[in-house]
Amino acid sequence: MTTGDLELAHAENRRLSSPGERFGARLQRRSSAEALQQKVIEQETRNLGEALERIIADGSATRAAAAVVAARRRFVTGYGKSFAYASLLATDLSAGLSHVTLVDGAVVRVLDVLSEVSQNDVLVAVSLRRYRRETVVVARHFAEAGGAVVAITDDARAPLASIAAETIVVRTDSASYADSPTAVAAVVHLLTTLATASSKGARRRLAERDRLSHALGNYLED
């Protein structure tokens, strides 16, 4: 596909703003499982390649990783479906970096976090359409309190982009009724790898976690 074709396809994807609309436009007509499988795989492959090329070109992932490493405390949040990516990010970051906290609204309450924000803190917020109000509200208050916000979102005009000090834009164009998770998961993986590789204490922390996991018998292969 040409650049023009990709932009037209992206614009159409953005127009179909709900899963119901996308199902009606893409899956209403009968097609074989093989044809649908091929269509989805081609779209996912194209979308992943395009997303990673954009991130390489704009340098957003390396800047975001630097902000995460430089912070004294790292908070991660996301609501709705975005919580799954936030949870993955927090889990992988905490393996190599200290003071990583997933703000889930239950165990870690938003009010507790926002009441103690400092200028050395960073909040990584994941916000994908349809954009949850809670994520934007938390990010806005976090920034107003002096903390830095890093956004992972799917459009440069997304609500979180105007709040964040650094924004990683990941397109989620899809051939399915659900927006694509593939590039988002890849960017989470990339961000955690870059941040962990830059952290001075990561090797020691990972080695200690390995030792403790073995001592506790956490895994079957141990």
Residue 123, SS3?
strand
Share of the chain above pLDDT 90, in %: 70
Kindly calculate the radius of gyration of the chain based on its CA atoms and give it in whole angstroms.
Answer: 19
Average pLDDT, the chain: 91
What pTM did the predictor assign? 0.89
- At position 131, the amino acid (one-letter code) is Y
pLDDT tens by residue, 109-138: 999 999 999 999 999 999 999 999 999 999
Which range has the worst mean pLDDT, 112-121, 164-173, 201-210?
A: 201-210
Strand 100-102 to strand 148-153: parallel, antiparallel, or no bridges (unpaired)?
unpaired
Confidence of residue 219 (pLDDT cuts 50, 70, 90): confident
Which residue has better confidence, 2 or 149?
149
What mean pLDDT is predicted for residues 172-183? 91
pLDDT tens by residue, 13-36: 777 777 788 877 778 777 788 988
Interatomic CA distance for residues 148 and 144, integer angstroms: 9
Q: What angle do CA 108, 110, 115 make, to 5 degrees?
A: 110
Per the CB < 8 A criterion, the answer to whether 82 and 127 are in contact is: yes
Which residue has better confidence, 222 or 22?
22
Residue 78, SS3?
strand
What the block records as the tokens of 148 is 């830095």
Confidence of residue 222 (pLDDT cuts 50, 70, 90): low
Q: What secondary structure does DSSP assign to 157-204, as a single string?
A: TSGGGGT-SEEEE-----SSSSPP-HHHHHHHHHHHHHHHHH-TTHHH
Positions of E strands within the chain:
73-78, 100-102, 121-127, 148-153, 166-169
Does residue 165 surpass a pLDDT of 70? yes
Does residue 1 surpass a pLDDT of 90? no
Confidence at residue 2, expressed as pLDDT on a 0 to 100 scale: 66
